Amino acid sequence: MKSFVMLGQSNMAGRGDFDVPLLTHPRAKMLRNGLWTAMGEPVNPDHAIFEGLYHSGVSLAPQFAVDFCEKFPEETCGLVPCAHGGTVIEQWQPGETLFENAVFQIKMAQKTSEVAGFLFHQGESNAHDGKFEHYEERFETFYEGLVRETGLKDVPFLIGELGEYLKDAYLPGRPNDIPKNFPYVNDMLKRIVSRHPNFAFVPSTGLGCKPDKLHLHSAALREFGHRYFQAWLAITDQTAQ
């Protein structure tokens, strides 16, 4: 089995509404309580599922898993959910709860699978004024710690681009609190990718969002999942040469 780790905040965990056919596949699994179980959405339930503005829902990872299974008919794909909505990169530093949980989940997955990639999407919460200046260094500290704790040095690491729609984001009760610095975070993410041969940048060009202008809608998440998989194929082909 090849497994893939979901890291980041809400657009990785998934806030898509259940308005698209939910994905299943006989060879797609997700990690629950240390055991592999049949993949079902939501894969990464970090919030209430059916209620609230920021409910857990459809994410990009199931489409990635289905694409993987269709491309490799002899393989099984496992998803390892570790993302959590609303989090800043400071919460993913070694010693912090989300980092330590991710390491624990990865080590559980390593017992029964080969971790073949990281699916990362995070940065909206760091795109607010005063929160993006040290993003690049803190990401590197996060990644260095992840490699140190898991030994997964050369595994493909896919970073998704923050959406252009963020310029119009609306947070109820916080009308002036807009992640307007997302272009700077995207620039930093691109520089990070350029320094690591096992990294790939996944563009979000043209992807649609929910009315809050903060979260990708379900159809966009399906397309993003396709793009993540194509990026993974490209980086694995490159590193195999």
Kindly list the domain boundaries of the chain, sorted by start residue. 2-240
Residues 63-109: tens digit of each pLDDT:
999 999 999 999 999 999 999 999 999 999 999 999 999 999 999 99
Q: Does domain 2-240 have CATH number 3.40.50.460?
A: no
pLDDT of residue 188: 97
Within 8 A by CB and 6+ apart from 85, the residues are 9, 10, 13, 15, 46, 47, 54
Q: Are 67 and 226 in contact (CB under 8 A)?
A: yes
Give all strands of the β-sheet with 77-81 in edge-to-edge order: 35-38, 28-32, 77-81, 2-8, 114-121, 157-160, 199-202
**Alpha-carbon dihedral 165, 143, 33, 87, rounded to 10 degrees:** -40
Per-chain mean pLDDT for the chain: 94
pLDDT of residue 169: 81
Q: What would the mean pLDDT of 190-205 be, rounded to a whole number? A: 98
How much is the pTM?
Answer: 0.95
